[in-house]
Amino acid sequence: MDKRRFAREALSEWMRHGGPDSDIVISSRVRIARNLSGHPFPMLATNQQAREVMEKLTGAVRAGKLDEVGKFDIFILSDLSELEKQVLVEKHLISPALANESRCGALILDRTESVSIMVNEEDHLRIQCLYPGFQIKEAWTKASRIDDRFEEAVDYAFDEKRGYLTSCPTNVGTGIRASVMMHLPALVMTQQINRILPAVTQVGLAVRGIYGEGSEALGNLFQISNQITLGQSEEEIIDNLHNVARQILEHEKAARKRLLAESRVRLQDRVCRSYGILCHAAVIDSKEAAQRLSDVRLGVDLGLIPNVPPAVMNELLVKTQPAFLQQTFNETMSPDQRDIRRAEMIREHFKTFRHGGA
Give residue 66's pLDDT.
95
Structure-model confidence comparison of residues 3 and 121, the more confident one: 121
CB count within 10 Å of CB 138 equals: 16
**pLDDT > 60? residue 356:** no
| Domain 3-173 CATH (choose: 3.40.50.300, 3.30.43.10, 3.30.590.10, 1.10.10.10) | 3.30.590.10
Is 209 assigned a ligand-binding role in the annotation? yes
Is 28 assigned a ligand-binding role in the annotation? yes
Beta pairing partners, 130: 29
Q: How far is CA 5 from CA 38, 90, 94, 129, 327, in A?
A: 36, 14, 15, 19, 12
Phi, psi angles (nearest 5°) of residue 339: -65, -35
Domain spans, the chain: 3-173, 257-351
At 11, is the pLDDT very low, low, confident or very high (cuts 50, 70, 90)? low
Reference 32, options 161, 176, 173; nearest CA is 176
Give residue 283's pLDDT.
97
Give the E-state strand segments of 97-164 in sequence order. 106-110, 115-119, 125-132, 158-159, 163-164
**pLDDT > 60? residue 55:** yes
Is 300 assigned a ligand-binding role in the annotation? no
CB 123 within 8 A of CB 167: yes
Reference 125, options 61, 82, 189, 186; nearest CA is 61
Is 29 assigned a ligand-binding role in the annotation? yes
**pLDDT > 80? residue 12:** no
CB 322 within 8 A of CB 266: no
Residues 6+ apart with CB under 8 A from 158: 37, 164, 165
> What amino acid is encoded at 197 in this protein?
L
Which pTM was predicted?
0.88
Is 180 assigned a ligand-binding role in the annotation? yes
115-119 and 158-159 strand pairing: unpaired
Q: Which helix (H) or strand (E) element contains residue 62?
A: helix 47-62
Is 258 assigned a ligand-binding role in the annotation? no
Is 262 assigned a ligand-binding role in the annotation? no
Give residue 114's pLDDT.
93
SS3 at position 107: strand
Cα 105 to Cα 197: distance, rounded to the nearest angstrom = 35
Is 62 assigned a ligand-binding role in the annotation? no
Is 124 assigned a ligand-binding role in the annotation? no
- How much is the mean pLDDT over the chain? 89
Q: Which of 84-88, 135-139, 210-214, 282-286 has the weakest average pLDDT?
A: 210-214
Is 162 assigned a ligand-binding role in the annotation? no
Is 105 assigned a ligand-binding role in the annotation? no
Taking each helix axis from N to C end, the angle separating 335-351 and 310-319, rounded to the nearest 10 degrees, works out to 160
Is 181 assigned a ligand-binding role in the annotation? yes
Q: Which tens digits make up the pLDDT trace of 211-246?
A: 555 445 678 999 999 988 878 889 999 999 999 999
Is 342 assigned a ligand-binding role in the annotation? no
> What amino acid is encoded at 111 in this protein?
R
Is 341 assigned a ligand-binding role in the annotation? no
CB 207 within 8 A of CB 272: no
